[in-house]
Structure formats: C-alpha cells, structure tokens
Amino acid sequence: MKFTIIAMGSNVDEKREALFEKLKSKGVSSERRQYLRRVAVVGASPEIIKWLRTEMKKEMSVQDIADLFGITRQGVYHHIKSDASQLDQGDRADLKELRPFTVPAHQQQCSLYNYITAHMKFALNPDPSSFTAVRWRELRNWWATLDEGEIIVHDPDQPGNDLAQCGGWRLEARVPADGDLIVRPHAKPTAQQRKVFTRKVIDEALKRDAE
C-alpha cells in the first residue's frame, strides 16, 4: 500500500522551511529543530510519527508533520495506523533485516544513523526523485564526507565524538575483509547487505547526478 506524496521540488522545501520558522517562533529549541531536520532526511516512519504526535503534539499538527516529510495528511494517518509504506522496487527488502547494526534507541537519534537509513532506501530504490531536493542534497553531502580508506563501525560503548555526538559510532581503517563496504556489520554481511552498502552505489549515483 502506498500513500500520495506531495510533489517534489521547491514547494516541499518552502513548506518545510516555513514549518521550521513556525517552530522557532513557538520556542522549539534549535537542538530539537536540528533533530527534525535530520529525521526529515530519512523520511516518515510509524515510530517517528508516533513520537512526534506524543512529544510535540502541542507544537506540530498533522499537517505540520506532513510538511516536514513531504507527504500528505493521509500519509501521516497511514503511518499512525502502523502500516509501513512499501519501497518501490521489484525485490523489496525489509529495512529492519537489512540494517547492519543493532542500535540502541538513543543512538538512533544521531544524524549518522539517519544518513545510513537514507542510503539504504536509495540503494533499494535508486531514484533521486524519491527524495525531496533537500534530502537528496544532504545525502550527497554526506556521501562526500566518506573516506575510501575508512569504514563506519558501530559500538554501543563508544563515547560521543565528532562523528556522532550521541556516541556509538566511530571510523576505523579499512581492512581487506571489508571489501568496498562503507559500514562494517556486527555479523558477517549478507549478500543483500553487500549489494546495498557497497561504495559502487555511491559512485554510480554521483556519476549519474553529474551527467
């Protein structure tokens, strides 16, 4: 089941920026607004929408949530009913199964976690138009920060650092066993994970984007 997406482009971006200005005028902290910008990169999910409807019910209406993610009000209600939206690709994969790490809830708030999720969604459906202009630009900017000689590692005991202030993440030197993956899964990577987290996904996306 799919819900209607608001048309991509400047209209979506303008609505989102207007929303952030409204939240600022309501006294929402800059830290909270930055967090909302990060989750907007990933897109709507039942968990985050339920969190918004609980923790920010006074500050954000259903329409505000729709504007944040570039979806319709019906899309918001769709998620509240816990019906996960389907990815538009032939062999759909369960994002939960595809995730290379088991990450505690508080470390899922890090922007890095959101960027990894956005990368997964793009790898499964490699169409930039499935992202808003802002989300696509932020994902490309994140890709540009990735050093080919390093790999992302998750360690729940890792203190906060420049990579992730909430802790749990660090960079390590790439070793031959890593191949061309951008992350090092907790367990032996599955065939699907190797397809999704390869640098080839990034290189091909940036090449097409430059054409």
pLDDT value, residue 9: 44
CB burial class (10 A; 0-12, 13-18, 19+) of residue 80? middle
pLDDT value, residue 48: 84
Q: Answer yes or no: do 2 and 36 share one domain.
A: yes
- Rounded distance between C-alpha atoms, residue 83 and residue 176, angstroms: 41
Strand order in the sheet with 169-173: 169-173, 150-154, 183-184
Hey, what amino acid is at 40?
A
Q: Answer yes or no: do 174 and 127 share one domain.
A: yes
pLDDT value, residue 144: 92
Q: Answer yes or no: do 11 and 81 share one domain.
A: yes
Q: Which of 25, 57, 86 is the last residue of a domain?
A: 86
pLDDT value, residue 80: 59
Q: Which of 52, 86, 120 is the last residue of a domain?
A: 86
Which of 139, 130, 140, 142 is closest to 71 using CA atoms? 130
**Block residue for tokens 């993440």:** 169
pLDDT value, residue 19: 93
Q: Answer yes or no: do 104 and 185 share one domain.
A: yes
| Domain interval for residue 141 | 93-211
pLDDT lower than 50: segments of the chain:
1-10, 82-93
pTM tops 0.85 = no
Give Cα 149 to chain centroid, integer Å. 23
pLDDT value, residue 5: 38
Per the structure, how many domains does the chain have? 2
CB burial class (10 A; 0-12, 13-18, 19+) of residue 69? buried
pLDDT value, residue 78: 61
Hey, what amino acid is at 55?
E
